[in-house]
C-alpha cells in the first residue's frame, strides 16, 4: 500500500489536539534507532512529574476495537467475519482499517479516529526479520531464529489469506482487497511488525499500543518507565535516581530476560549490553519412533530445548527430550479412552498409571525408576545430537556468507546472532559431553549397556553365522 505520511513536526499538534501532554519529552530522530524520545528538561527540574501523559481514549486495545466496530459498520462486518480471535489480531484489523482509511478515504468511507492520523507518523522501514530481504534472512540459517521466522511467516500468510477471503463478501473491503488490489501481504507483515515492536502489557487496559510513549527506545539501564494511572491514562515517568540533561535520550526497558533471538525477532535489534545468553530450539520426536505422534499430542508445553548460560555455566532443559527418549519397553503407553458421553481421548500411561496431565513433567515422574540414569543418558544424547546439527548449520551458513558479504544493519545483526549462538552451543556441547561421561561411568548405566550388548550379541549369533561381521557392526 503506498501510504500517506505526516512529517514528525506535526506530531506535537496531533498530541495537543487529542489532549495528550508531553511537557518534558519530545520525539526526534536518533541515530540507528529511527525516532526516539529526548528530555526537554533536566531530571532535577522534572522530579516526579510525568514526562508524557496519554489519555485513555488514545490507547489502542481490544476495547478500542470493539467500540470502533460499533461506530463503523464496514469495520464491524470485517471484525465479525474474521476477528474476535485475540486482542492482537483485532488490533491488527483496526490498524488495517486506519491505514486504508488514511490512504484511500474514498474506497473505505469509514469513521476517522486519532489513529487514522497517527499511523501516518509510523515508519515503513521496521527492521524486524519478517520484513528483511531474502538475502538478509538467509543469514539466519542455523540460528534459533530460523525456524521461528519460518513459522511466523506461514502464520502471517495464513492470517492475511483468511482476512482477504472473508473480505470478498463486504463491499468496501472487496474494493480495497480485490477490485483495486490496494492491500498486500507486506502490509499485513508491516502491521504485525508495528504491533510486535510497540505493544505494551498494561495492568488495566491489557494488550495495548500507546501513541507517543511507543516512540521510546530500549535500554537495559532504562531511565524511564510507564504506568497506568487510576484514571486509566498512561504516563511516562523518570526512574528515581537517574540523572538526565536536556537533550538526553529517554529510554524504557523492553524486558530484561529476552534472549538475543527474541530481541531480534520482536524488535529488530540486538542489545549489546544485555547479559542474557540463551537460545531455544524446537525439538521433534525421532523419525522412527512409533509413539511420535502420540507424544506430540499429549505434550502440552512447547517441544523445545532451552540452553542458558549463567555465571559461566551452561545449562540445558528440555522436558520433551525426556518424553522422546522413552518407549513402550520402559513402561510408556498410550491408550484411547472412551468417556460416558461417547467422546474419545488419547491418554498417556507411565508404569500403568495415567499421567496425561503430567506429560510436561515426565522428568520428575521417571526420577524414581531404576533406569533413571539411563533415561538421562538418552535425553542427553538426543539434545547433543540436535545441538551438533545446529552447530553444523551455523558453520554452513557462515561459509555461504563469507562468499557474499552483504552489508546492511540487518545483515550485521544476523551475523552477531550467529556468533553469539555458536558460542553458547559450543559451551553447551562441552557441558553435555561432561554429563554424558559422568553418566557412562555409573554402575547402573554400565550394567544396563552390558545387558543390552549381551542381548544384541545373543540375537546376532542366533542368526546366520555366515553373516558378514562388518554388516553386523554397522
Ligand X SMILES: C[S@@+](CC[C@H](N)C(=O)[O-])C[C@H]1O[C@@H](n2cnc3c(N)ncnc32)[C@H](O)[C@@H]1O
Residue ranges that bind ligand X, judged by CB under 6 A: 32-36, 123, 127, 197-198, 214-215, 217-219, 267-269
Helix-helix angle 409-440:443-461, to 10 degrees? 80
Q: How far is the CB of 55 from ligand X (least distance, A)?
A: 19
Q: What Rg value do the Cα atoms of the chain yield, rounded?
A: 28
Q: Which residue has its beta carbon closest to ligand X? A: 34
What's the min distance (Å) between Cβ of 25 and ligand X? 13
**Minimum distance from CB of 220 to ligand X (Å)?**
9
Q: Kindly state the smallest distance separating residue 4's Cβ from ligand X, in Å.
A: 17
Residue whose CB is less far from ligand X, 127 or 319: 127
* Residue 452: CB minimum distance to ligand X, A: 53
* Nearest residue (CB) to ligand X, 269 versus 375: 269
CA distance 30 to 27: 9
Give the nearest distance from C-beta 98 to ligand X in angstroms: 16
8-state DSSP, 179 = I
Residue 176 CB, shortest distance to ligand X, in Å, is 25
> Which C-beta is closer to ligand X: that of 197 or that of 259?
197
For ligand X, the closer CB: 27 or 77: 27
Nearer residue to ligand X within complex by CB, 222 or 442? 222
Nearer to ligand X, 222 or 306 (CB): 222
Closer residue to ligand X, CB minimum distance, 215 or 332: 215
Question: 69 vs 210, which CB is nearer to ligand X?
Answer: 210
Of 297, 323, 451, which is closest to residue 383 (Cα–Cα)? 323
Q: Concatenated DSSP letters for 96-116? A: HHHHHHHH-HHHH-----HHH
Please, which residue, 194 or 350, has the CB nearer to ligand X?
194
Residue-by-residue DSSP string for 364-419? HHGGGSTTHHHHHHHHHHHHHHHHHHHHHHHHHHHHHHHTS---SHHHHHHHHHHH
In the chain, DSSP finds a helix count (H) and a strand count (E) of: 19, 15
Please, are residues 176 and 100 in contact by the beta-carbon 8 Å criterion? yes
- Lookup: cell for 245: 540533561
Residues 6+ away with beta carbon under 8 Å from 347: 298, 334, 335, 336, 337, 354, 356
268 DSSP assignment: S
| CB of 96 or CB of 193, closer to ligand X | 193
Q: Which three cell numbers mark 39? A: 528530555
DSSP structure string for 110-138:
----HHHHHGGGS-S----GGGS-HHHHH
Minimal distance in Å, beta carbon 265 to ligand X? 10
Cβ within 8 Å of residue 165, ≥6 positions away:
none
Residue 252 in contact with residue 246, Cβ under 8 Å? no
Least distance in angstroms from the C-beta of 8 to ligand X:
10
To the nearest whole angstrom, how small is the minimum distance from the Cβ of residue 134 to ligand X?
20
Strand partners for 317: 306
Amino acid at each position: 500500500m503506498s501510504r500517506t505520511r505526516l512529517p514528525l513536526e506535526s506530531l506535537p499538534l496531533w498530541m495537543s489536539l487529542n489532549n495528550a501532554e508531553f511537557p518534558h519529552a519530545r520525539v526526534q530522530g536518533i541515530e540507528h534507532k529511527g525516532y526516539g524520545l529526548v528530555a526537554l528538561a533536566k531530571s532535577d527540574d522534572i522530579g516526579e512529574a510525568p514526562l508524557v501523559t496519554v489519555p485513555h481514549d488514545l490507547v489502542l486495545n481490544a476495547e478500542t476495537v470493539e467500540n470502533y466496530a460499533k461506530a463503523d459498520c464496514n469495520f464491524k462486518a470485517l471484525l465479525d467475519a474474521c476477528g474476535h480471535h485475540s486482542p492482537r489480531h483485532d488490533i491488527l484489523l483496526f490498524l488495517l482499517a486506519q491505514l486504508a482509511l488514511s490512504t484511500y478515504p474514498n474506497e473505505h468511507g469509514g469513521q476517522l479516529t486519532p489513529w487514522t492520523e497517527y499511523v501516518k507518523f509510523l515508519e515503513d522501514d521496521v527492521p524486524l526479520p519478517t520484513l528483511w530481504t531474502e538475502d538478509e534472512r538467509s543469514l539466519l540459517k542455523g540460528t534459533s531464529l530460523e525456524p521461528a521466522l519460518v513459522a511466523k511467516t506461514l502464520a502471517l500468510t495464513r492470517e492475511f489469506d483468511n482476512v482477504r477471503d472473508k473480505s470478498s463478501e463486504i463491499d468496501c473491503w472487496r474494493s480495497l482487497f480485490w477490485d483495486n488490489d490496494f492491500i498486500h501481504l507486506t502490509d499485513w507483515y508491516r502491521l504485525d511488525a508495528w504491533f510486535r515492536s510497540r505493544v505494551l502489557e498494561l495492568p488495566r487496559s491489557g494488550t495495548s499500543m500507546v501513541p507517543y510513549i511507543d516512540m521510546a527506545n530500549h535500554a537495559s539501564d532504562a531511565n524511564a518507565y510507564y504506568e497506568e494511572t487510576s484514571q486509566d491514562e498512561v504516563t511516562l515517568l523518570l526512574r528515581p535516581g537517574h540523572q538526565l540533561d536536556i537533550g538526553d535520550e529517554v529510554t524504557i526497558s523492553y524486558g530484561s530476560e529476552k534472549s538475543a533471538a527474541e530481541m531480534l525477532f520482536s524488535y529488530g535489534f540486538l542489545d549489546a549490553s544485555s547479559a542474557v545468553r540463551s537460545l531455544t530450539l524446537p525439538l521433534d520426536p525421532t523419525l522412527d519412533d512409533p509413539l511420535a505422534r502420540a507424544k506430540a499430542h499429549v505434550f502440552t508445553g512447547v517441544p523445545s530445548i532451552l540452553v542458558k548460560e549463567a555465571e559461566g555455566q551452561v545449562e540445558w532443559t528440555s522436558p520433551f527430550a525426556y518424553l522422546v527418549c522413552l518407549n513402550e519397553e520402559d513402561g510408556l503407553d498410550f491408550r484411547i479412552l472412551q468417556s460416558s458421553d461417547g467422546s474419545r481421548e488419547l491418554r498417556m500411561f507411565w508404569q500403568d498409571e495415567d499421567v496425561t496431565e503430567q506429560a510436561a513433567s515426565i522428568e520428575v515422574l521417571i526420577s524414581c525408576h531404576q533406569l533413571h540414569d539411563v533415561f538421562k543418558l538418552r535425553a542427553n544424547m538426543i539434545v547433543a545430537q540436535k545441538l551438533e546439527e545446529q552447530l553444523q548449520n551455523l558453520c554452513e551458513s557462515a561459509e555461504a556468507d563469507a562468499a557474499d558479504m552483504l552489508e546492511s544493519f540487518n545483515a550485521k545483526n544476523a551475523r552477531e546472532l550467529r556468533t553469539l549462538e555458536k558460542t553458547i552451543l559450543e559451551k553447551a556441547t562441552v557441558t553435555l559431553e561432561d554429563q554424558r561421561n559422568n553418566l557412562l561411568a555409573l554402575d547402573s548405566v554400565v550394567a544396563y549397556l552390558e545387558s543390552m550388548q549381551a542381548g544384541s550379541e545373543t540375537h546376532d549369533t542366533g542368526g546366520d553365522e555366515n553373516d558378514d561381521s562388518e554388516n553386523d557392526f554397522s
